[in-house]
Amino acid sequence: MLIMSKPSKKKRAPIGVFDSGYGGLTVLREIVSTLPDYDYLYLGDNARAPYGTRSFSTIYDYTLQAVKYLFEQNCPLVILACNTASARALRNIQQKDLPNIAPDNRVLGIIRPTAEVIGDYTKTDKVGILGTPGTVKSESYIIEIHNQFPEIEVHQEACPIWVSLVENGELKNAGADYFVQDKMEDLFAKAADIDTVLLGCTHYPLLSDTIEKYTPKGVSVLSQGKIVADSLKDYLRRHEEMEIRLSKGGKRKFLTTGNAEEFSSKTKVFYGRKVKAKKVDL
Ligand code: DGL
């Protein structure tokens, strides 16, 4: 007698969200508000942050380790909620690693979805991108924006000190004023008629009050959290094969490679409320 075994059904699992540290929480916050039913597993590589000033190969190695870790936790879908990791590691992971390590899983970044909508905002066809040195050097925003909107002129400014300002809670004081004004003047010196400025680093939305202070009137300052959340919603609508692999129940778990207590104490600022975290090693 032939015994037919039932095809094994994979258990549903959370969406993995990765960042070098705290910044991805500003993106997760918007994703959770747009797609509240899913479960999420957040991983911040705080022990090795910031990534923004690190070499291409280091950012790639660290990001790949994090993606593998989230796959081992069964996450079928991982969002790189970090511009630097999206700029420096995503393409290699998608094209080189994924087919070998987990061909049915997916890793998505946050640069392409942002680039796809930037043309809806600019009227002068001149946009400014503020990001880490890693993101700026990769020219990923220039490449992705030109794929969609070849007519848009893209001007970039690297603002490495802004990540330290945010991590240290220096959001609205003389120090923040000094470093923000300096970079905004450098950006607008490149093209005075920029009418859209993208905060292309997940930390920068926390400095937005100070950034707005030094932004010429009429210029839009865009944060990408909501843009990424809407794009993920659309992705899940179009990819039923992935959607059915995701668990629902509204659970959120937070992991850090750094100090769990310190991570928890900063979640109020980045995520809007304090949450508990667990320390893990990659
Ligand atoms: N989260 C990173 C980004 O969006 C910035 C922080 C870092 O340099 O690690 O680019």
Q: What is the pLDDT of residue 2?
A: 44
- How high is the pLDDT of residue 23? 95
Asked about 82 being catalytic, the answer comes back as yes
Write out pLDDT tens, residues 85-120: 999 999 999 999 999 999 999 999 999 999 999 999
Q: What is the mean pLDDT of residues 131-158?
A: 97
Contacts of 161 (CB under 8 A, 6+ apart): 179
Nearest C-alpha to atom 6 of ligand 1 is from which residue?
Answer: 50
How remote is the CA of residue 240 from the centroid of ligand 1, in Å?
A: 31
Distance 82 CA to ligand 1 centre (A): 6
Ligand 1 center–CA 279 separation, angstroms: 20
1 burial via Cβ count (<10 Å: 0-12, 13-18, 19+): exposed
pLDDT at 139 exceeding the cut of 80: yes
pLDDT of 37 over the 60 cut: yes
- Each residue of 55-64: pLDDT tens digit? 999 999 999 9
State the CB neighbour count (10 A cutoff) for residue 172.
Answer: 13
Integer angstrom CA distances of residue 38 from 28, 34, 67, 202, 222: 12, 10, 19, 22, 26
CB of 52 within 6 A of ligand 1: the answer is yes
Domains (ranges, CATH) in the chain? 15-109+226-279 (3.40.50.1860), 112-223 (3.40.50.1860)
Question: How many angstroms separate the alpha carbon of residue 166 from the centre of ligand 1?
Answer: 11
Question: Is the pLDDT reported for residue 180 higher than 70?
Answer: yes
Q: pLDDT tens across 210-260, in order?
A: 999 999 999 999 999 999 999 999 999 999 999 999 999 999 999 999 999
Establish whether residue 140 lines the binding site of ligand 1, counting it when its CB lies within 6 angstroms of any ligand atom: no
Which of 107, 82, 110 has its CA nearest to residue 227?
A: 110
According to the model, what pLDDT value does residue 7 have?
Answer: 44
Q: CA 220, 154, 18, 207 torsion: positive or negative?
A: negative
* pTM for this entry: 0.94
Pocket test for ligand 1, best of 18, 28, 201, 207 (most atoms within 8 A of CB): 201
Q: With pLDDT > 70 as the criterion, what percentage of the chain qualifies?
A: 96
Per-residue pLDDT, averaged over 56-73, amounts to 98
Q: Which of 83, 167, 168 to mutate to test the pocket of ligand 1 (most atoms within 8 A of CB)?
A: 83
CA distance linking residue 263 with residue 46, whole number of Å: 8
Establish whether residue 138 lines the binding site of ligand 1, counting it when its CB lies within 6 angstroms of any ligand atom: no
Distance (Å, whole) CA 58 – CA 51: 8
Atom of ligand 1 at shortest range from CA of 52: 8
> Which three-class secondary structure state does DSSP give residue 11?
coil
